[in-house]
Amino acid sequence: MSPHLRVAAVDLGATSGRVMSGRIGGDRVEIDQRHRFPNGAVRVRGSLFWDVLGIHREVLTGIREVARTGPLHGIGIDSWAIDHGLLDHDGQLLGQVFSHRDARVEGVAEKVVAQVGAATLYGTTGIQQLPFNTIYQLVAARGTTALDAAETMLLLPDLLGYWLTGAIGAERTNASTTQLYDVRRGAWAVDLCRELGIPEGVLPPLRDPGSLLGTLLPEVADELGVTTDVPVVAVGSHDTASAVVGVPAEVGDFAYISSGTWSLVGLELDRPVLTEEARLADFTNEVGVDGTIRFLKNVMGLWVLSESLRSWSERRYQGAELRSLLAAAAELEPLRTVVDINDPRLLFPSTSADPMPERIAALAAESEAIPHSPAAITRCILDSLAVAYRRHVRTAAALAGTSPEVVHVVGGGSQNELLCQLTADACGLPVLAGPVEAAALGNVLVQGRALGADLPDLPAMRDLVRRSYDVRRFEPRDGLDWAAAEARIS
């Protein structure tokens, strides 16, 4: 495959970020981690913010490492969705960047739905009703000095790209998650903004994945030690959009689970599903690469386990390391305790006054046997995730009128063998696990095509992933009544 390309793929998660060196050529795509750094919200005076300047600094450090070890042909950035910065008329950041887990959005969604109507909101945007969507963050910000002074709103990857290039815009896969995007028209829902008192002027021009933002600003190029002609590419800037590109699918009808802090469970479709049944099931229609639709459900994901691990670590529990917990959990009675893993009580960070393990136990106490040990709580979390995956894979297929033949699990959760096997058992479908860094791979592949690689469509990109990376296969096992377990939390 020619030309041989080497790019920097910035892949940001809510708990960590990484900058990868990506190479395309010789019929392979390869990634190599050059820089990894912790990430997390910072609590200041009762509010949660992202240290976005610190993230920018780490991104520069990582790109510099990629450039130091070889030629750099391009840069692409993906991250989680929804969160954003506001810029003033001079292009300066107005205040801090709020975390979507900040409590300022509590109760806002209910007020917006009462004003607009749930059916109208879904019929326009097709987006799952999550209390922290960008629309609710902006409604919560009405009347603040920052929003009143704002010239532009930039989602996180677009903000970081702006600091690299000076270019203003909103990449479409991420814009579609805001609940401010008209999924039928492929444009901002300006009428909705007007009705809610959101200044429509802050919405930047939309751009497609694979388009070029621009080249590096002189001062950025100087800091990175490269020339100013290095392009920054708008990849699928929502990390799930990039991850779905990196799914090594061979069959047409597949389900996917992008498993990390959040689990995104769904299908890739040609058009949105905007039926009343889809709205009531609370499924989302997000834009994917090449005009596809990511028809999916957001599930709380491994956040619940990671927050429990953090709580046990702070309390110095013995034997509460992930590997030993997973081994112990695998030996416990399956499906003894399941909870609704998407319960809103699990959304906010664990604290000493309200630790995550105790929240799990409290949920279980409402109808189930209470798990007391860290291993029992871990098993409860994983069983509950598998039950949620079963429900949402089956619901998505019924709503879209498809029959997936396999479930692809990508992201960090693909390394969790117990969860992957439970997912196969629960869904009654083979699970193909890997690659771990699917989002970074999708980022690299979209960059590669934009820069001249012979990757005309998604099947070509996925074929390259299959030829480059092995996956693990988990066959479904019989013996457990998953339908009964699901019914216990319905």
Torsion of CA 361, 105, 100, 137, to 10 degrees: 160
d(CA 383, CA 416): 13
Nearest one of 9, 63, 60 to 31, comparing CA atoms: 9
- Alpha-carbon distance 360 to 358, whole Å? 5
What distance in Å separates the CA atoms of residue 28 and residue 463, rounded to the nearest whole number?
A: 10
Structure tokens at 389: 């995956």
Q: Is 383 a catalytic residue?
A: no
Q: How far apart are CA 315 and CA 377, in angstroms?
A: 16
Structure tokens at 285: 């229609």
Identify the residue whose tokens are 């903000």.
159
Check 239, 340, 383, 425 and give the catalytic one.
Answer: 239
Q: Which residues are catalytic?
A: 239
